[in-house]
A and B are shown apart, each in its own frame.
Chain A
């Protein structure tokens, strides 16, 4: 085990995979940083420091600094993948899928199926998502809801440095397009990361707290909020299973259903808006497949159906809080 930050787990894993497989290439805005300036290449990396040092190690043909052209970046990733490479393309902010969605949705996601299985499409699209920085409506969004709904894509949401390593390795080696969502509030999170060739298969949730009374499902920034609530309630003798799905497509339905069969109570906490989202999806899953175990109606804790506001007070009010999560847990506990 090594102590490592979430952001460093990104760079380390990419470097290890680039070392192992010459077909792995990186592209994105400022992934080198300093190109065409007096400071020179790598004078300063991208704003998240998730590609630091790659250019020096692997050179300009494998670490491709691009102009601000997200549509072309995603399209080039699609073309690289069709032509036998394993691109890792970066969107600086997940919100920028807006500019580049055709290449992700109508191209990357569709190729393997639409071409009758004749091709693989091994592209990883990494992006920083999530609120907590007062970056307002166009730089704070959680987009897994949109992308999870797109057949052909795999969607990964690591919540710890170890999961970054294990899941990113699997993503890079996967033959389908994988959306890799990094929560920007977690980049500075430190944790133990297994050394060596560590990988985590997709579709395997992680149980982060164990209890008999309530099942809480969450990921990213809010997972920490849920764990805090679970720890608080544990002191009162209330036990919560806290489940981090790790991948939203494929989704580990079994882990969630098994837990609800014991607890009979479900709270899903998600950072995306409430309609047609992951929380609604998991509530529907449980209503359908674990109906007879339920002791209370499944609860979704999400932001309201509004764009993300700027001011500190507003963003705080917008996001699910530990208070709101605790209230939802107490609500399912107190049902009838």
Chain B
């Protein structure tokens, strides 16, 4: 199905926002200003955006430790996110959560998560709530290739099948869990979808470096799940452009691997080539968006730097009782 010009521009802008958000964090983190562990989503933008462009605020997603892309794609405010990562009290979680715990319930974003494999069962719960509400809404669990080895993920898949929960398990196979390769850690190597299939789900596979592959695949998946057929799973093959976390020396990569994936597997380049090649958009359209996004990210960083810092009293807020 051909997307409108507006839809194409929007999709590109969303991916570009994630890209520049992450590239900027990569630079800023080197200065030591940002605290904690940060896992960048660079390289996987087409997955988050290709999935979330189909969703409304009433559809839910549950994310991972590598959550910035999912958050932005689901509509979390760029400034609120940047402020959160800066540990400001103006951040989306008042500086209490940080990079690994960004959430925005109003946007249907039920949280990034520091515990690998914790998300899938939560997504099933949200899907069961959607089923009770009977409005055709869905819930999506984003998981990595590493998270697919966690028992919680298996339990969640089976629970979704037996309860016919409108839950979609999106597996982002970026070939690494921390410093370990998927060929070692996943017994079914580059085929995670077959595991989901074994649990009794219909499964799809797509190219996570191609927005259109993701978007088209998800259209089918969502039609199937929204029609009340129970859960489904999708595996997208994708790439992570930075280290596992910021500071990872990535000695597990092959020679030239990073240059190669940046050159040939960059979802933004692939998108640009595809829409300009088909004369759907001009380079000028995309260049204009690039400039606009860069400015938005600059603004977000300036605002995050200037934002209010939390105070010691804030430690005791938002907990039912503090001794």
Which residue numbers of A lie inside 8 Å of B, CB to CB? Answer: 29-30, 33-40, 43-47, 65, 67-72, 95-96, 98-99, 133-139, 274-275, 304-307, 309-314, 317-318
Query: What are 29 A-B contacts with C-beta separation under 8 Å?
Result: A29-B178, A33-B180, A34-B252, A35-B180, A35-B185, A38-B257, A39-B253, A44-B248, A65-B184, A67-B177, A68-B146, A68-B147, A68-B150, A69-B149, A69-B151, A133-B37, A136-B96, A136-B98, A136-B100, A306-B315, A309-B95, A309-B315, A310-B87, A311-B89, A311-B309, A312-B87, A313-B87, A314-B310, A314-B312
Given contacts A36-B184, A139-B114, A310-B95, 11 further A-B contacts (CB under 8 A): A33-B180, A70-B150, A71-B151, A136-B114, A138-B113, A305-B323, A306-B316, A309-B95, A310-B98, A312-B35, A317-B315
CB proximity of B11 to chain A, nearest CB, Å: 31
Chain A positions within 8 Å of B312 at CB level: 313-314, 317
CB proximity of B147 to chain A, nearest CB, Å: 7
Give 1 or 0 for each of B106-128: 1 = CB within 8 Å of chain A CB: 00000001111110000000000
Other-chain residue from A35, A70, A133, A135 in contact with B181 (beta carbon distance below 8 A): A35
* Contact (Cβ within 8 A) B322 A136: no
Closest residue of chain A to B313 (Cβ to Cβ) is: A317
* Contact (Cβ within 8 A) B95 A314: yes
CB proximity of A70 to chain B, nearest CB, Å: 8
Closest residue of chain A to B100 (Cβ to Cβ) is: A136
Other-chain residue from B35, B253, B322 in contact with A306 (beta carbon distance below 8 A): B322
* Contact (Cβ within 8 A) A99 B152: yes
Number of chain B residues whose Cβ lies closer than 8 Å to a Cβ of chain A: 56
Chain A positions within 8 Å of B132 at CB level: none
Chain B positions within 8 Å of A47 at CB level: 178
Chain A positions within 8 Å of B93 at CB level: 310
* Contact (Cβ within 8 A) A99 B115: yes
* Contact (Cβ within 8 A) B100 A138: yes
Closest residue of chain B to A46 (Cβ to Cβ) is: B179
* Contact (Cβ within 8 A) A311 B176: no
Chain B positions within 8 Å of A45 at CB level: 179
* Contact (Cβ within 8 A) B116 A136: no
* Contact (Cβ within 8 A) A43 B319: no
In the complex, which residues 160-207 of chain B have their Cβ closer than 8 Å to any Cβ of chain A? 176-186
* Contact (Cβ within 8 A) A134 B36: yes
Other-chain residue from A39, A311, A314 in contact with B252 (beta carbon distance below 8 A): A39
Q: A29-B178, A67-B186, A311-B88 are in contact. Are A305 and B322 (CB under 8 A)?
A: yes
Other-chain residue from A30, A133, A306, A314 in contact with B319 (beta carbon distance below 8 A): A306
CB proximity of A324 to chain B, nearest CB, Å: 11
CB proximity of B244 to chain A, nearest CB, Å: 8
Chain B positions within 8 Å of A99 at CB level: 115, 117-118, 150-152
Chain B positions within 8 Å of A307 at CB level: 96, 319
| B101 within 8 Å of A (CB atoms) | yes
* Contact (Cβ within 8 A) B185 A36: yes
CB proximity of B227 to chain A, nearest CB, Å: 33
CB proximity of B246 to chain A, nearest CB, Å: 12
